[in-house]
Each structure stands twice: as structure tokens, then as C-alpha cells.
């Protein structure tokens, strides 16, 4: 079983930067597709970014260009970055690890990001 722990959340001024980190234990992340999701107040959870392999990845289509995702398999971490934050970026951000055959899906506890002046 994979344990995922997010960190880096908190209060950020509009226009500031988001830098979140997810540390994993229990299994090597190299065999998983990794992603960051978020759920804003009164909204459904949405995919922010996903990475399949390598050390960098792309945003989800719905928010393409807003986030940068990266992974370090040797350190068992995945990070999410975004500059120029807006109020609508306020959400709980979740780290996710997923694989198929067999299908496994693990989630972190989430970290709160609040963008406010």
C-alpha cells in the first residue's frame, strides 16, 4: 500500500506562487501514473496535472498551461508548481498515484491552499 503525504499548502497572496510536494512511502512511485487534483469550495474535484514518466509532465487539458508537474522517482516525490495564483485557485490539493493491471488508486490527505489578500 502506498502512503502519500502532501505539503506546502497555506495562505498565498494573489499573484504569488504555489509549490506543493507529495512524498510517498510503501512502494516505488516509478510504477505509477502520478497526478495532482484539487477541489475548490462548492466545486467538484478536478485534475490539475498528470505525469506518466520522466521528470516532468503536463497540465490536464482543462487547465493546460497553468500548472507544472514533476517527479523524482529516486526520492519518491511528485511536485506541483504554479505562478501568478488567483483567488479561484483556492482549493484542497490532493496527490494521487494510479496504476493498472492490477488497478490501484491511492490518495493523500490533501493540503489546503488559500489565495487571498
pLDDT at 60: 67
pLDDT tens figures, 16-69: 999 999 999 998 888 889 999 999 999 999 999 999 866 566 666 656 668 999
pLDDT at 50: 92
Burial of 8 from C-beta contacts in 10 A (0-12 / 13-18 / 19+)? middle
Amino acid at each position: 500500500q502506498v502512503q502519500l503525504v502532501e505539503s506546502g499548502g497555506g495562505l498565498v497572496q494573489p499573484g504569488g506562487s504555489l509549490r506543493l510536494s507529495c512524498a510517498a512511502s510503501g512502494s516505488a512511485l516509478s510504477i505509477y501514473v502520478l497526478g495532482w487534483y484539487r477541489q475548490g469550495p462548492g466545486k467538484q474535484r478536478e485534475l490539475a496535472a498528470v505525469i506518466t514518466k520522466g521528470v516532468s509532465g503536463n497540465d490536464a487539458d482543462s487547465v493546460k498551461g497553468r500548472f507544472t508537474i514533476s517527479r523524482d522517482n529516486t526520492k519518491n516525490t511528485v511536485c506541483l508548481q504554479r505562478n501568478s495564483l488567483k483567488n479561484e485557485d483556492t482549493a484542497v490539493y490532493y496527490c494521487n498515484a494510479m496504476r493498472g493491471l492490477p488497478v490501484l488508486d491511492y490518495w493523500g490527505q490533501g493540503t489546503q491552499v488559500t489565495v487571498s489578500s
